Amino acid sequence: MKNLIFKIAVLTGTVAAFASCSDTWLMYDTSQKDKLYFKYENYPSLDQYLSTDFSFALLDESVKEVKKTVTVTLLGMPADRDRTFEVRAIHDTTSNYTTGGVQRELIDAVENEDYTIDRLIVPAGSVEGQIDVTLKRTEKIMTKTASLVLQIAQNEEFEGVPRNVYRFLISDGTAACPYWWYYSATQQWYQYTGEFRQDKYRKLLELYHGIAETNPTLYASMVEQYGENIDNDYYTGLNGQQLRMSMGFMVNRQNPHKMAWLRYVLCPLFDYYSTNYPDLEYYTTGSVNVTTGGWRDPANNY
């Protein structure tokens, strides 16, 4: 709706300016196509290259495909009917990609082999639509990463925004360190979960999934917010704002499940490793930062 208000405001200002210099009124071009774009929350520019990693590495071998949803936003007027749109996969010019300490060769994802896309609709009266993408598990992604770069394609109803795309990086084998685990690509800071390790990642997910047995209602709510394997891009904060699942999101003051993360996941994870592997890494109850590093006891930290 903000996009709609902005568009109307700009149009109104343009009409007023034109009318002040002439008796001829500027008419709105109703033949102009509405636009759809991928939006990074709280970032004003439409010129965006959004990218998300998805790995099958930590999933059971029986899981052969996973469905993911991508939201597209309307820049234009809502309609009184459902409208279809189209997307196309474009070539990823990146040849190699490093994430979470794992470097892989990038290859373009192949439709019906690495992914499928369901029907694409912007519902009547809505300013948003969605793309349902099914990511598939194949042998090649054990050592390589399949890159699916989506761009809005022009059809009779819509057109896309230049330089606005959404990329899935699909892999298996060795799990990469997730975005919410580390501080940055060059400055590693593991305050909240300690150093990234494959076994610890699995233990963390085990604790998270274990909430389903002790508190099913809570677990269902958390899965909706953060994903079954903590792989959503955003969650809804206490003020209703969409917040990025970046480092420290579990204990963000706006996180509605902050205490649940501490009780069921973060504290048990710290206790397990500090008790069973006391010399594995730097455990502390004191303050830590990018320079000092260290895994701070969650019970003392928040």
pLDDT digits (tens, 9 = 90+) for 150-178: 999 999 999 998 889 999 999 998 887 88
State yes or no: pLDDT of 19 exceeds 80.
no
Report pLDDT for 60.
83
- For residues 54 and 114, the answer to whether their CB atoms sit within 8 Å is no
Phi and psi (nearest 5°) for 149? -105, 115
State yes or no: pLDDT of 14 exceeds 60.
no
State yes or no: pLDDT of 59 exceeds 60.
yes
Phi and psi (nearest 5°) for 161? -110, 130
Report pLDDT for 22.
41
State yes or no: pLDDT of 238 exceeds 50.
yes
State yes or no: pLDDT of 92 exceeds 50.
yes
From the number of C-beta atoms within 10 Å of its C-beta (0-12, 13-18, 19+), residue 89 rates as buried
Pick from 146-160, 249-263, 281-295: least confident: 281-295
State yes or no: pLDDT of 192 exceeds 90.
no
Rg (CA), the chain: 23
State yes or no: pLDDT of 28 exceeds 70.
no
**Average pLDDT estimate for 51-80:** 89
Q: What is the DSSP letter of 112?
A: T
Question: How far is CA 86 from each of CA 71, 91, 119, 151, 291, rounded to the nearest angstrom?
Answer: 13, 17, 9, 9, 47
Confidence of residue 289 (pLDDT cuts 50, 70, 90): confident
Confidence of residue 195 (pLDDT cuts 50, 70, 90): confident
Report pLDDT for 301.
62
Q: pLDDT by residue (tens digit) across 223-233?
A: 999 988 898 88
Confidence of residue 218 (pLDDT cuts 50, 70, 90): very high
- For residues 189 and 291, the answer to whether their CB atoms sit within 8 Å is no
From the number of C-beta atoms within 10 Å of its C-beta (0-12, 13-18, 19+), residue 2 rates as exposed
Task: State how far the Cα of 271 lies from the Cα of 299, in Å rounded to an integer.
Answer: 10
State yes or no: pLDDT of 186 exceeds 60.
no
Element (H, E) at 252: none
Q: pLDDT by residue (tens digit) across 113-145?
A: 999 999 899 999 999 999 999 999 999 999 999
Strand ranges inside the chain, DSSP E: 34-37, 49-55, 65-75, 83-84, 86-90, 96-99, 102-108, 115-117, 121-122, 128-136, 144-153, 158-159, 165-171, 234-236, 242-244, 283-284, 295-296
- Percent of the chain surpassing pLDDT 70: 83
State yes or no: pLDDT of 102 exceeds 80.
no
- Percent of the chain surpassing pLDDT 90: 55
